[in-house]
């Protein structure tokens, strides 16, 4: 039975998506069908397709009572919108169906687990969230909420922890056929922690242990955890709130964190060995992963950030997009990300320049566009002093440009969207310390992917990534290169079909 609230949302989204032209949307990044989108949810392979759900407020381009939007794809690049899957229509989720995950049950049904939010009234007239974990079961289009919801509530929490910050369950199936899920929570010290729950069947869940503890090292509350084994290592992804910068590694506000360590499946023990940012740019948060049928671990994040997403023009029909799907691997103990290989099939009109010398400002024939995949290999020029700075500028015309610039002496790569047409005093720049020591000799590889409203720069074969949204007029499609000193550069550039 579909509730009145969900029926209305479905009717509304169907009518209102027609008001948005294809050109107003990103070309190959998933965005809200209409209205507002945040976190990826329920990212899964089910019944021969990838399913992506998302935090969704169809009625407005701003955050509001959370529904789950829904889209499916065969290649993670071409998406088809399906009717909204969940609406806040039960006593335990009246104030929102927050983030969660999905798995396929052995009998073929699709199981969703999400956070139900209910605001309780306080003695002083204020309100406070009660967050619980809930289930819905469906066929890939329609989902029915479980009669015994919520399946995890206050009584399933360890003593002394917050019941207002208990959200974003990510489930997986273990090799013995039982289920696990990790949930973000806040212990008494106000920091963040990840709780682990187990289940024999996906329906009855019990608390197992504190899986990972922040101890106030990386921000406060840890949101949207994901855990998986990759290349023999345990990998915990989470998005901390209220971070402080640590050198160039983490930045202020909501950020992303990847912990890599040893994992023992028998005892569900995770021992941290390494920490790093997931993305070093401006707009990337709350990523979630899926395992493909051929065994690849693919990650998609919300291509936005909470600190700036409300400073923007009001007259838009949609807001919020997902990043490109990225293939993950662990190399030299670090997380590597590459654009999903299926993306290569969308490339056309190859243009190549070898050993182009960049000194001052240079344009190259055939190198321009707003839907582009471009690989740059930079080298110092022999017999000349190491260059001071290199920059590639794009989404460029007389009025606008966004740039990636690199200073080899400091090893710092910077994304700068100050001149992208933004009229708000938001964060426009972010710096990243390039990890590879060869970058100090002036050697750098960049793969830059532009869609209508975004840039994603993969550094040194995916060792680091910088992501940012830009809302520059589409007529600004110039690309140029600049060096203070001299750089020898190879360029391979494609348009995206």
Asked if 98 interacts with ligand FRU (CB under 6 A), we say yes
Q: Count CB neighbours of 329 within 10 A.
A: 14
Q: What is the per-residue binding string for ligand FRU in 434-453, x denoting contact by CB under 6 A?
A: --------------------
How many whole angstroms separate alpha carbon 181 and alpha carbon 170?
5
Please give the Cα distance from 153 to 166 (Å, whole number): 9
Is residue 286 a contact point for ligand FRU (CB under 6 A)? yes
Q: Determine, following the binding rule CB under 6 A, whether residue 99 of this chain makes contact with ligand FRU.
A: yes
Q: Where in 124-267 does DSSP place strands (E)?
A: 127-138, 143-145, 166-173, 179-185, 193-199, 206-213, 222-230, 233-240, 257-264
Residue 115 near ligand FRU by CB under 6 A? yes
Toward ligand FRU, which CB reaches closer, 112 or 286?
Answer: 286
Phi, psi of 488 (to 5 degrees): -100, 125
Residue 251, both tokens? 């930045």
113: contact with ligand FRU by CB under 6 A: no
Q: To the nearest whole angstrom, how small is the minimum distance from the Cβ of residue 208 to ligand FRU?
A: 21
Query: Is there binding between residue 38 and ligand FRU (CB under 6 A)?
Result: yes
Q: How far is the CB of 426 from ligand FRU (least distance, A)?
A: 17
Kind and range of the H or E run holding 88: none
Of 168, 226, 327, 373, the residue at the interface with ligand FRU (CB under 6 A) is: 168
* Smallest distance from ligand FRU to CB 286, Å: 4
Rounded Cα–Cα distance for residues 290 and 273 (Å): 23
Supply the minimum distance, in Å, between the C-beta of residue 251 and ligand FRU. 16
- Least separation in angstroms between CB 57 and ligand FRU: 9
CA distance linking residue 447 with residue 339, whole number of Å? 9
Residue with tokens 């499609």, as numbered in its chain = 477
Give the tokens for residue 328: 């993950």
Exactly one of 44, 55, 162, 405 binds ligand FRU (CB under 6 A); that residue is 55
Structure token pair of residue 94: 């009246």
Cα separations (Å) of 135 from 89, 161, 185, 298, 328? 13, 23, 19, 24, 28
Q: Please report whether residue 282 would count as binding ligand FRU according to CB under 6 A.
A: no
Using rule CB under 6 A, residue 39 touches ligand FRU:
yes
Among 93, 223, 283, 495, indicate the residue that binds ligand FRU (CB under 6 A): 223
Name the active-site residue from 39, 95, 165, 495: 39
Q: What is the CA radius of gyration of the chain?
A: 23
Residue 435 falls in which region: left (phi positive, over 0), alpha (psi -120 to 50) or beta: alpha
- Residue 224 interacts with ligand FRU (CB under 6 A)? yes
Position among 9, 30, 32, 66 found at the interface with ligand FRU (CB under 6 A): 66
Determine the straight-line distance between the first and last CA of the chain, rounded to whole angstroms.
Answer: 41
User: Can you tell me the distance from the alpha carbon of 381 to that of 8, in angstroms, rounded to the nearest whole number?
Assistant: 63
CB closer to ligand FRU, 167 vs 417: 167
CB of 89 to ligand FRU, least distance (A): 17
**Residue number with the shortest CB distance to ligand FRU?**
98
Count the site residues for ligand FRU by CB under 6 A: 13
Residue 344 annotated to the active site: no
Active-site residue list: 39
List residues near ligand FRU by CB under 6 A: 38-39, 55, 66, 98-99, 115, 167-168, 223-224, 285-286
């Amino acid at each position: 039975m579909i509730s009145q609230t969900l029926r209305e949302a479905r009717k509304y989204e169907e009518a209102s998506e027609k008001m948005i032209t294809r050109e107003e949307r990103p070309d190959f990044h998933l965005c809200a069908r209409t209205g507002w989108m945040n976190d990826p949810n329920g990212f899964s392979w089910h019944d021969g397709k990838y399913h992506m759900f998302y935090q969704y407020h169809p009625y407005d381009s701003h955050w509001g009572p959370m529904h789950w939007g829904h889209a499916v794809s065969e290649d993670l690049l071409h998406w088809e919108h399906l009717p909204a899957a969940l609406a806040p229509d039960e006593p335990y989720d009246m104030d929102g169906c927050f983030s969660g995950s999905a798995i396929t049950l052995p009998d073929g049904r699709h199981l969703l687990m999400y956070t139900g939010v209910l605001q309780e009234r306080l003695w002083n007239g204020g309100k406070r969230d009660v967050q619980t974990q809930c289930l819905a079961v469906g066929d890939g289009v329609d989902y029915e909420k479980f009669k015994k919801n919520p399946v995890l509530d206050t009584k399933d929490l360890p003593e002394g922890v917050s019941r207002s910050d208990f959200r974003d369950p990510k489930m997986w199936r273990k090799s013995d056929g039982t289920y696990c899920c990790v949930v973000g929570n806040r212990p008494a010290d106000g920091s963040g922690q990840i709780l682990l729950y187990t289940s024999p069947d996906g329906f009855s869940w019990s608390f197992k242990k504190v899986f990972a503890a922040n101890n106030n090292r990386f921000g406060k509350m840890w949101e949207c955890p994901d855990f998986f084994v990759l290349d023999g290592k345990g990998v915990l992804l989470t998005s901390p709130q209220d971070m402080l910068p640590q050198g160039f590694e983490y930045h202020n506000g909501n950020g992303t964190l990847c912990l890599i360590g040893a994992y023992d499946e028998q005892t569900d023990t995770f021992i941290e060995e390494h920490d790093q940012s997931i993305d070093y740019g401006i707009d990337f948060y709350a990523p979630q992963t899926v395992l493909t049928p051929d065994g690849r671990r693919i990650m998609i994040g919300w291509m936005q950030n909470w600190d700036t997403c409300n400073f923007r023009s009001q007259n838009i029909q949609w807001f919020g997009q997902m990043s490109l799907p990225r293939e993950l691997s662990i190399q030299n103990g670090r997380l590597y990300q590459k654009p999903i290989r299926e993306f290569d099939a969308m490339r056309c009109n190859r243009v190549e320049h070898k050993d182009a010398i960049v000194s001052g400002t240079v344009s190259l024939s055939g190198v321009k566009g707003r839907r582009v995949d471009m690989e740059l290999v930079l080298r110092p020029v022999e017999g000349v002093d190491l260059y001071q700075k290199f920059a590639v500028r794009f989404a460029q015309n007389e009025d606008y440009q966004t740039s990636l610039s690199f200073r080899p002496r400091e090893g710092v790569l910077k994304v700068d969207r100050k001149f992208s047409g933004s009229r708000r005093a938001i964060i426009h720049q972010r710096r990243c310390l390039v990890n590879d020591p060869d970058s100090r000799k002036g050697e750098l590889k960049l793969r830059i992917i532009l869609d209508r409203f975004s840039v994603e720069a993969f550094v040194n074969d995916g060792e680091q990534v910088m992501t940012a949204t830009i809302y520059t007029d589409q007529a600004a499609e110039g690309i140029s290169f600049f060096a203070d000193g001299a750089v020898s550069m190879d360029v391979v550039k494609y348009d995206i079909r």
